[in-house]
Amino acid sequence: MAEVIVRQATTESEMAALRALRMAVFVEEQGVPEALEIDALDVLAYHAVACVQDAVIGTGRLLMLPSGDALIGRMAVHIDVRRIGIGRNVLQFLESAAMKLGVPEVIVHAQTYVSEFYLRNGYHAEGEPFDEAGIQHIIMRKSLK
């Protein structure tokens, strides 16, 4: 595989590509209702894309919370390139962006079946699993200090 570059999504074509990837992963693969996937928070978020040449193969977003912490979400990797480190690279990129903004902690609403991914990346679970868009999730948190 060619070099994977993770960067902030800044162009309309990158935004369209990351939305298409999220639709493929969350709506088509996982059955999340389309109305829940693309939400009003997208315009407020800092979006990351993982690209090979001009193709977007991974994405995630960072939202600032009123508490001063940040929420990382909408993490998605193209089905053909999962489990080779792209998700980790996107996550680390978003954590780095949060650190530059002075965020003390990041939170994720992790789908329970991928909670091990977040544990391996320094997150800890808190509370009980809950339903979000028909999928079991758990809140996970990581200190950036």
User: Most distant CA pair in the chain: distance in Å?
Assistant: 41
The DSSP bridge pattern shows strands 105-111 and 70-77 to be parallel
Complete domains list, the chain, with CATH:
4-143 (3.40.630.30)
- pLDDT tens for 76-133 read 999 999 999 999 999 999 999 999 999 999 999 999 999 999 999 999 999 999 999 9
* CB-count exposure of residue 110 (10 Å: 0-12, 13-18, 19+): buried
pLDDT tens for each residue of 51-65: 999 899 999 999 999
What are the structure tokens assigned to 10, written together? 């800044």
Overall pTM surpassing 0.85 (yes/no): yes
Parallel/antiparallel/unpaired status of strands 105-111 and 124-132: unpaired
Q: By C-alpha distance, which of 93, 132, 80, 90 is closest to 111?
A: 132
